[in-house]
């Protein structure tokens, strides 16, 4: 006998709630009558104007602007080769394969070049990924745990100012990415 009573109370409560919210939404719809359309246009925005993706959308005519990581790598490869940062690697795609983020790879390249440490060592220590590259000359490349770039530089070259070298390398990596967008 209690089950029908509870069901009836829930139904009544549901009708009460929906009528309350329905009344509030009806009040929030705006003015009615003469000039309602003009007033509605002044007070509301179209769904398209409030779309946050609209602010970041690029024109389709920007075909030179990189859109994916692969596009950035292809566009950056000649510059990195000219700067002597790629070393034995033929492309940025090859050199940056173990990195999750291209930015981190570029910072590692710049840091290894600026401090005078083999990029293969930096790459192995920072990513924790060991490839077929000979790492026998690396001091800290025998651990399996990935380190930050600053800690990797401290481990590989203790006499270098690792913190400043990391900041400088990260700034150079940002500049590379900005240059690739132009």
What digits encode the pLDDT tens for the residues 131-158? Answer: 777 777 777 656 668 889 999 999 899 9
For the cut 90, the answer to whether the pLDDT of residue 106 exceeds it is yes
Q: What is the pLDDT of residues 29-56, one digit of tens each?
A: 555 555 555 555 554 455 555 666 555 5
Q: Is residue 116 part of a domain?
A: yes
Residue, of 10 and 179, whose pLDDT is higher? 179
pLDDT at 129 (0 to 100): 80
Q: Is residue 13 part of a domain?
A: no
For the cut 80, the answer to whether the pLDDT of residue 71 exceeds it is yes
Residue that has been written with the tokens 């060991």 in this structure: 130
Q: Is residue 95 part of a domain?
A: yes
Exposure string for 45-67, b = 16+ CB within 10 A, e = fewer: eeeeeeeeeeeeeeeeeeeeebe
From the number of C-beta atoms within 10 Å of its C-beta (0-12, 13-18, 19+), residue 3 rates as: exposed
Rounded average pLDDT over 113-124: 90
Residues in the chain: 182
At 177 the three-state DSSP class reads helix
Other CB atoms within a 10 A radius of the CB of residue 113 amount to: 19
State if pTM tops 0.75.
Answer: no
> What share of the chain in percent tops pLDDT 70?
60
For the cut 80, the answer to whether the pLDDT of residue 173 exceeds it is yes
pLDDT at 108 (0 to 100): 94
Q: Is residue 57 part of a domain?
A: no
The CA distance from 1 to 112, in Å, is 79
pLDDT at 105 (0 to 100): 93
Q: Is residue 20 part of a domain?
A: no
Residue, of 9 and 165, whose pLDDT is higher? 165
Q: Is residue 99 part of a domain?
A: yes
Residue, of 53 and 100, whose pLDDT is higher? 100
Structure tokens at 29: 């719809």
Q: Is residue 61 part of a domain?
A: no
Question: Pick from 94, 67, 68, 70: which is nearest to 81 by CA?
Answer: 94
pLDDT at 170 (0 to 100): 95
For the cut 80, the answer to whether the pLDDT of residue 167 exceeds it is yes
For the cut 60, the answer to whether the pLDDT of residue 17 exceeds it is no
Q: Is residue 170 part of a domain?
A: yes
Give the residue numbers spanning the domain of 90.
69-181
Rounded average pLDDT over 71-99: 89
DSSP assignment of 97-152:
TT-S-HHHHHHHHHHHHHHT--HHHHHHHHH----SS--TT-SSTT-SS---HHHH
Question: Going by C-beta distance under 8 Å and a sequence separation of 6 or more, which residues neighbour residue 4?
Answer: none
> What share of the chain in percent tops pLDDT 90?
30
Number of independent structural domains in the chain = 1
């Amino acid at each position: 006998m209690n089950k029908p009573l509870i069901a009836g109370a829930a139904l009544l409560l549901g009708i009460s709630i929906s009528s309350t919210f329905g009344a509030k939404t009806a009040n929030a719809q705006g003015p009615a009558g003469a000039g309602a359309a003009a007033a509605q246009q002044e007070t509301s925005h179209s769904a398209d104007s409030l779309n946050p993706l609209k602010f970041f959308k690029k024109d389709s005519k920007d075909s030179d602007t990189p859109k994916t990581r692969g596009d950035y790598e292809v566009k950056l490869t000649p510059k990195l080769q000219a700067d002597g940062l790629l070393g034995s690697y033929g492309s940025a795609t090859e050199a940056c394969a173990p990195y999750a983020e291209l930015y981190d790879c570029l910072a590692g390249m710049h840091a290894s070049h600026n401090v005078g440490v083999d990029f293969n060592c930096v790459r192995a220590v920072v990513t924790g990924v060991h490839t077929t590259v000979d790492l026998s000359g690396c001091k800290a490349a025998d651990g399996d745990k990935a380190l930050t770039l600053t800690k990797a530089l401290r481990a590989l070259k203790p006499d270098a100012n690792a913190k400043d070298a990391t900041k400088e390398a990260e700034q150079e990596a940002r500049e590379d990415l900005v240059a690739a967008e132009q």
